[in-house]
Structure 1
């Protein structure tokens, strides 16, 4: 506890850096995944290409991608963009299939009713299909956010890793207080972000709450 109190300011500052490294890729991945998932849901050929390719990307080890990213996008090895780019790829790989499957599951009667009201495909997507996909989107974002909180620490092996600094530094110095503090901070951040996303999903789906209340 003495070590924690002595380094509390450092822990808080690095925790903010950790959040930025982990959450910006979640937002970027969502913005990329939405059009890709929509395209995959509308054209069978696109689905046959996009879903397997994004799935394969998830299977690539994170450390390998961290090392390769400067060669692929021309950044410096210690640039935080390398970590964020890799985590964006993983977020996309998690979300594209879920979005495509969810959009495919929207009943044809609902789509026909929206079209009858004058919605064009893009307008129908934002007004009808996307709101219905919110529960699945939130579930995917929760998985991606928690995953990114963990993987950011791996980035410390190339010098960019937020709270991973306390893990690596603790191992090198034999300082178990540093290691435990880093782990606890990562877990706490992951739990807080997960709860906030769950709350966002709850607030964005009032019809789901009404349905549950009616069944009770």
Structure 2
């Protein structure tokens, strides 16, 4: 069920989009913007939770052991080449009902796994081997080396991959509206159906704002999560590699 088309007095898509965004009726009710944002973020969170559970352990293993690097790179490239909408439609047709949520989620998981997987693998494998050898010479086990040395030193790259995945998922999860699910994509699909281009533009603007806001929050978290000893002090003319063994 879509929001009723709004009658606009101004001309032009931008003026119509502004009127749609500033109409209080579009911010209320079970189909209002806040509810759609909540649905959108819920789909995104579920997708990222599944993707992290799949990609992070594989990335940690490959980065730590060096095994399967070629497979990881090839798999990430293959998954990036898959069309999300086509895969989602295929999964929906294979399911018992096109209204099921999980076919759309699994298609988005295929989109989110590559940046998380490659970011985790690259962050771990980029740690200076001399630091890893030093940790082993101190008597650390493989697990201790991984979580006390490699993960802290590769955290910036790992979080960068997760940040990239979040932005891709939040921007793409609107496609679930094609199979009659909710989220901010409903404004675009429903607006096109009734030629309400103010609603289409307004929905696109809200999606962009949500993505930008999340990117800002993740950038701040990425900055705070990285150990101060691994950051370059202000005014340093040339970057120097820094590593730390965490007790």
Q: Same fold (TM over 0.5)?
A: yes
1:45-194 residue pairs with structure 2 within 5 A?
46-70=68-92, 74=95, 76-194=97-215
**Equivalent-residue separation in structure 1 for 2:154 and 2:47 (angstroms):** 20
Distance change >3 Å, CA 96–CA 214, structure 1 → 2: same
Tell me the CA shift for residue 214 of structure 1: 6.5
**Gapped runs of 5+ residues in structure 1?**
none
Q: Give the 3 Å change call, closer, same or farther, for CA 97–133 of structure 1 in structure 2.
A: same
- Say which is worse superposed, 90-99 or 6-15, in terms of deviation: 90-99
Q: Partners of 2:54 and 2:211 in 1: how far apart?
A: 23
Tell me how far apart the structure 1 counterparts of residues 235 and 132 of structure 2 sit (CA, whole Å). 25
Structure showing the higher helix proportion among its residues: 1
The alpha-carbon deviation at position 209 of structure 1 amounts to: 7.2
Unpaired stretches in structure 2, ≥5 consecutive residues? 1-17, 238-247
- Equivalent position of 2:38 in the other structure: 16
How many Å separate the matches in 1 of 2:231 and 2:122? 24
Instruction: Say if 1:22 and 1:152, in contact at 8 Å, map to a contact too.
Output: yes
Contact 1:156 / 1:165 at 8 angstroms: preserved in 2? yes
Shift of 1:27: 3.1
Distance apart, 1:185 and its partner CA: 0.8
Query: Structure 1 CA distance, aligned partners of 2:96 and 2:144?
Result: 38
The alpha carbon displacement at 1:25 in A equals 1.8
SS of the residue corresponding to residue 7 of structure 1 reads helix
Aligned-pair distance for 1:117?
2.7
- d(CA) in 2 for partners of 1:50, 1:71: 29
- 8 Å contact kept, 1:170–1:179: yes
Cα deviation, 1:31-88, whole Å, max 9, x if unaligned, reads 322221123234555222232123201211011110222466x563222222222222
- Compare CA radii of gyration and give the structure with the larger one: 2
TM-score, normalised to structure 1's length? 0.89
Q: Secondary structure at the match of 1:213?
A: coil
- Alignment length, in residue pairs? 215
